[in-house]
Structure 1
């Protein structure tokens, strides 16, 4: 074999090595189907005219608005659970986002003997099982801090405790990506520390901030363990707790409508977050597309 043939074979081997394995697309689509088909079935049967969960009996909005007693619109327990979930998620975002951003910036810049231990403590809930967090918080609010009543106050503190570390991790990842050169340049040009944070750092953190909002909202509105441990009954039930309690008994098909509403709320929150970031970037003079913004938010989420 001469030199030319050797080079040709080596090039062919490199191309074959970098060729995408055929089994990966099969596994990917199998995972997508396995994950989405049950959700699609629940969404479809939320518009079923009958009570059957396996036999299609015609399109209807009976379980959304039509039934005067059991529909999502008229069932007071379902409405209460939806309102509780939305209020809890909104309050968790309002409190967790600024607190998590400040902790992320502080721990990222903190360089001392105890900084590693502090970072580990802040991010500990990420690797702590949620069941352990929920049970521990129940003991705290019933024995150590009994002045905090179970229900919305305890649930809010529990959601903040569990979601704070996710915000810190997301913001810190963005901080590590952008580095500190932009702030140093702003300080060299005469900006104060607060001006550098407000006009330089925070705009650079916007993809991670939007990703944090979406993560906290999706986690909070979908949370079952902490909400269940710290609930006091129907008055503080959230959507996941209400669905779990109903499916263990003779549940109504309106639960499919409630689950569909939960999916629509999560998708809408993601869409609004991406559009908001796109509008901010456009207002700042950047010519970016929605696809680019989606890629940045996804990268920040990862």
Structure 2
């Protein structure tokens, strides 16, 4: 076509595209370098000395200094503490988020509208401020809970509660009230309608919330660093930072960080695939629902 009716070619946003690639390179190249040095044959974290799996599964040296993730008691303890915190936080946080989302969505009043602010609490409050406040709270005001695993767990629940509340409420907005009303019209009591009709429809959002909370806890550093008490309660993120910052790090820490990265990626991919399978055939407006909820 030519003339006035000829369609304009869409201009390519080269500047925006270049900035996006620059951001990806800036973010991913340091991570790739850290992963590469986890396979270094030598102890150096600055010079590549060949490829090896010694920092993952290698046997300790004669003096016991150079240990791998498989044979280091400290790395084992940190990794197990990370998984423990992830499991405990998920088991506590997701049911609370589910109850919170149901209460706000089904309870219509001025108070419920004000509680929408609580749902986005972790997005507006700096994590360091919350960590310091909770550390003071557990040390001075609520002393039955000492610094350590349970203090870390409760703080992580407070920090991550917004995720399941927002995701599950977005699912509630997408579902609407039709299914519950139909169950009630057929004679189902209120709790039976919730348990046998609403909860099965909410399972994709509940599962997505659990995956997101668990992955978030694995990568958390600020809260657990403030609330850990001894080396036994230090998760992997705190151990990596303390040893690397203190000058006693090595490729074994890179290997531990690589395992955490791989764990997060696997959890995210598996969670995404299973969520897509659970919601297959639906034309949900989940993104629009989340935007409307956050904007309330």
The TM-score normalised by the length of structure 1 is: 0.84
The answer to whether structure 1 residue 52 and structure 2 residue 44 are counterparts is: yes
CA contact (8 A) 2:174 2:285 kept: no
Partner of 2:232: 235
Partner of 1:205: 202
- Rounded to whole Å, the distance in 2 between the matches of 1:102 and 1:20 is 47
Partner of 2:172: 175
Partner of 1:223: 220
- Summarize deviations over 1:53-106 as a string: whole Å, max 9, x none: 232211111111214142111111111000000001001001111111111111
CA contact (8 A) 2:204 2:278 kept: no
Matched ranges for 1:281-296 at <5 A? none
Partner of 1:142: 139
**Shift in CA distance, 300/268, structure 1 to aligned 2, threshold 3 Å:** farther
Displacement of 1:299 in angstroms is 8.8
**Shift in CA distance, 300/263, structure 1 to aligned 2, threshold 3 Å:** farther
CA contact (8 A) 1:64 1:71 kept: yes
- Rounded to whole Å, the distance in 2 between the matches of 1:243 and 1:198 is 44
The answer to whether structure 1 residue 93 and structure 2 residue 90 are counterparts is: yes
Give the RMSD, CA atoms, in angstroms. 2.8
SS of match in other structure, 2:115: helix
CA contact (8 A) 1:227 1:241 kept: yes
The answer to whether structure 1 residue 270 and structure 2 residue 268 are counterparts is: yes
Aligned residues: 284
SS of match in other structure, 2:179: helix
Partner of 1:103: 100
- Rounded to whole Å, the distance in 2 between the matches of 1:110 and 1:145 is 31
Displacement of 1:5 in angstroms is 5.4
Displacement of 1:174 in angstroms is 2.2
Which runs of 5 or more structure 2 residues have no equivalent in the other structure? Answer: 292-296
- Rounded to whole Å, the distance in 1 between the matches of 2:152 and 2:89 is 10
Which runs of 5 or more structure 1 residues have no equivalent in the other structure? Answer: none
Partner of 1:190: 187
- Rounded to whole Å, the distance in 1 between the matches of 2:257 and 2:290 is 24
**Shift in CA distance, 270/32, structure 1 to aligned 2, threshold 3 Å:** same
- Summarize deviations over 1:29-49 as a string: whole Å, max 9, x none: 222222211111111111110
**Shift in CA distance, 119/296, structure 1 to aligned 2, threshold 3 Å:** closer
Displacement of 1:300 in angstroms is 8.8
SS of match in other structure, 2:23: helix
**Shift in CA distance, 296/110, structure 1 to aligned 2, threshold 3 Å:** closer
- Rounded to whole Å, the distance in 2 between the matches of 1:38 and 1:220 is 22
- Summarize deviations over 1:131-164 as a string: whole Å, max 9, x none: 0110010111011111111100111111111111
- Rounded to whole Å, the distance in 2 between the matches of 1:209 and 1:34 is 34
**Shift in CA distance, 169/135, structure 1 to aligned 2, threshold 3 Å:** same
CA contact (8 A) 1:100 1:168 kept: yes
Displacement of 1:275 in angstroms is 4.7
- Rounded to whole Å, the distance in 1 between the matches of 2:20 and 2:161 is 31
**Shift in CA distance, 116/298, structure 1 to aligned 2, threshold 3 Å:** closer
The TM-score normalised by the length of structure 2 is: 0.86
**Shift in CA distance, 297/273, structure 1 to aligned 2, threshold 3 Å:** farther
Displacement of 1:121 in angstroms is 3.0
- Rounded to whole Å, the distance in 1 between the matches of 2:231 and 2:74 is 7
Partner of 2:53: 61
